[in-house]
Amino acid sequence: MSKSLLIVESPAKVRTIKKILGRDFDVRASVGHVIDLPPSRLGVDLENGFTPEYQVIKGKEKVVRELKKAAKGADAIYLAQDPDREGEAIAWHLAQELGGDRERYQRVLFHELTKSAIAKAVADPQPLNRHRFDSQQARRVLDRLVGYQISPLLWDKVKRGLSAGRVQSVALRLVVERERAIAAFEPQEYWTLAAKLAADQPPVFLGRMAKFDGKKFSPTTEAETMAALEAVKNAEFVVAKVKTSERKKKAPPPFITSTLQQEAFRKLGFAPKRTMGLAQRLYEGLQTNEGQVGLITYMRTDSHRVASEAVAEVRGLIAETYGKEYVPAKPPHFKARKGAQEAHEAIRPTSSRRTPQSLEGYLKKDELALYRLIWNRFVASQMAPAIYDRTLAEITAGPALLRASGQVLRFKGFTVLYAESKDENGTKEDPDGLLPPLAPEQKLTLKELLPKQHFTQPPPRFTEASLVRELEERGIGRPSTYASILATVQSKDYVKRQKKHLVPSPLGMMVSDLLVENFPQVMDVGFTAGLEESLDQVEEGGRDWRELLSEFYGPFSQALEKAKQDMRQIKGKGLPTDIDCPTCGKKMAIRLGRNGEFLACSGYPECKTTADFTRSAKGEVVLEEPAPDPGIDCDKCGAPMVVKKGRYGPFLACSAYPKCRNIRPLDENGKPAAKAEPELIGEKCPKCGGELVIKPTRAGGRFISCSNYPDCRYSRGVPVGVDCPKCGGALVERRSRRGKQFYGCDAYPKCDYATWDRPVPEPCPDCGHPFLLHKKYKKGQFLRCPNKDCGYQRPFEQTTDEG
């Protein structure tokens, strides 16, 4: 008996859906895209209507073969990729690659992976959406045209390995412009004057001076402020007016992609990429007391719409849990932003009855934290507003008018469950305190006058949360792209994360400036937002995708040709500065090295003077004083040693370089560190027969090397006494490019097994796994079995030197 074939994107979904659909369906995964543009060339036919030259992704040949085999015996094929543009593209590509009668292919949209939603979607399939596919195809080609043609230009002009992107470069520009605005900011002085007052009943409260001599009180100097203080310090403080009102604070809407990323960053400290990875798992389904079940609706959405069934369920839950007074008379309505895809729902639990408490034994810590955040936000969004009693009082004091305000929470409403976080530049949630009972003509007692000096503050640096909000507000990118945009600008070292803030690197600022100079249209925020709207129009069937690409490519190709000639040449020449070379007097230029920026004489190679520099708060280049002569001679050739800066900080290097390459580390006090004696391991070098020794690395690690170095360059990692579980080789200590220690197989690259946790040669007492892992958490250190199905763990007690 033939089955229906249903293809999803991820294997995790397969497990969830198989249990629901049963034996009549063969459920398989494409594991994401199966075809794409070629990775090594442009792959777009510019002479033939921008036709993409698709090919099967390397490594996906087996997946395609197995899907073709399954499709041959299927009476119907359901393409159940994600309900967005990327999912639509995968569905179209699968239909093209699997071939056969097109009428067999049906599109199925799962907005949530629950029994009822899956059954409903399969019972009511849709045709493939050509317009949505064209929109994704246009975006893919646009990104390829920009990235694959500007990036090689940056390699030629600046540094190999750089990249540019149609949207990522605009995001970089926002970060760079914010940094420049901070550097250019000039603080302005201003003052405030408040009076600490007492009425007949407590509490003591503050009245802030609002007017003086009938004009708005906004002093900018201490003299103005003290003049006002002198005028009122002996005056009678009298209540002139009291106004009471009711203030309602409505619940925030349920999450969409951008607000989930922002709130997860503020409340949980999750980067957007981490948030989306966790949300993907919650959506695709996890093991619970009900079995494998999808816990949230689809997480890439910009719509606040909620299904009527979900609203009815949560209103019943609120009434049972908190009382009927917490259920509003009508379900709240949340206005969607312009261009939102209302076919999607907001991000919500698939069932509000599935409380976070009921999942505590099943989800991992971070999964549960994100689920609780989504659950709390959704339930709160359907609750009644919080109600405050608000009082505003005006108080006269001689020539001055003061104002005081206060409020009291009368009904908690949604705040019983949820409080929305704010960014640094947000306003305080409830700045007002409590006021005592006040009445007109009531006399008050002055306790103290409080003059205070202030300075205006620069705009804050972006955090990942506030940059996502900025991108959304400006119409740059879409819900599916925010996380990848932020990850890309950081992975390319254009932007560094300092604590919670995003700070552009000098390289990022240089690249942004060059792109703005040479590609003003591509880097224009308004133009990029307009392209997003055009792509939406393609999806809605209101615009032809090839016409859109043609309109973009004409001006872009002209700018590209001009940039090849006019873009400043940084590689080899550097970025000019006004600093004179201390050796020959020519101007110094900023050059890019392996360890960052440095100053080099523009007269190179005749003058080889280099120097380190810093940047002032205004971004100006400041020449660093050269390091003092350490007064140490090279122990190999006798030439003087000099202080150099490298990836891991300052060190001593022979001045006779490159003839002599001797270096010595410096200790924490800047003094030459004593050389550690190599540790003999009792083995002979397999290359030359010399003694093998353990040596330290500059990054703080260790490795095994031949004692005849540099004549013999044999080396290998230090073994940890554990065999590789993948191939049987030895696991050894290794260091990542950023200097972080990990443990990998010595057969690399033939075997790619690796772990961040140190393997310990002790079998698991529960399942017999040949080794345990030394895990380090904030709460302590543990030995844990690497077998995911085992779960054995015990506190770690160090008895030997782990190196």
Select from 659, 621, 614 the least CA-distant residue to 639.
659
Hey, what are 179's tokens? 């940094």
Select from 9, 5, 14 the least CA-distant residue to 104.
5
The answer for 359, left when phi > 0, alpha when psi is -120 to 50, beta otherwise, is alpha
- CB contact at 8 A, 695 and 705: yes
Q: How far is CA 74 from CA 7, 24, 98, in A?
A: 12, 11, 12
- Set 78, 105, 298, 553: catalytic member: 298
Please report where in the chains the tokens 């926002």 appear, as a residue: 174
DSSP secondary structure string for all residues of 493-531: TSEEEETTEEEE-HHHHHHHHHHHHH-TTTT-HHHHHHH
Q: CA 559, 560, 566, 568: dihedral to nearest 10 degrees?
A: 120
Separation of CA 651 from chain center: 34
Q: Which residues pair with 602 in a beta bridge?
A: none
Q: How far is CA 773 from CA 291, 743, 791, in A?
A: 29, 11, 12
Select from 248, 203, 188, 238 the least CA-distant residue to 415.
248
Distance between CA atoms of 689 and 712, rounded to whole angstroms? Answer: 10
Q: Is 298 a catalytic residue?
A: yes
**Residue 427 is which amino acid?**
T
Q: Is 47 exposed, middle or buried (0-12, 13-18, 19+ CB in 10 A)?
A: exposed
- CB contact at 8 A, 302 and 457: no
Please report where in the chains the tokens 């640096």 appear, as a residue: 461
Nearest-5° Cα angle at 30, 79 to 755? 145
Task: Assign 3-class secondary structure to 403-425.
Answer: EEEEEEEEECHHHHCCCCCCCCC
Query: Which residues are the active-site residues?
Result: 298
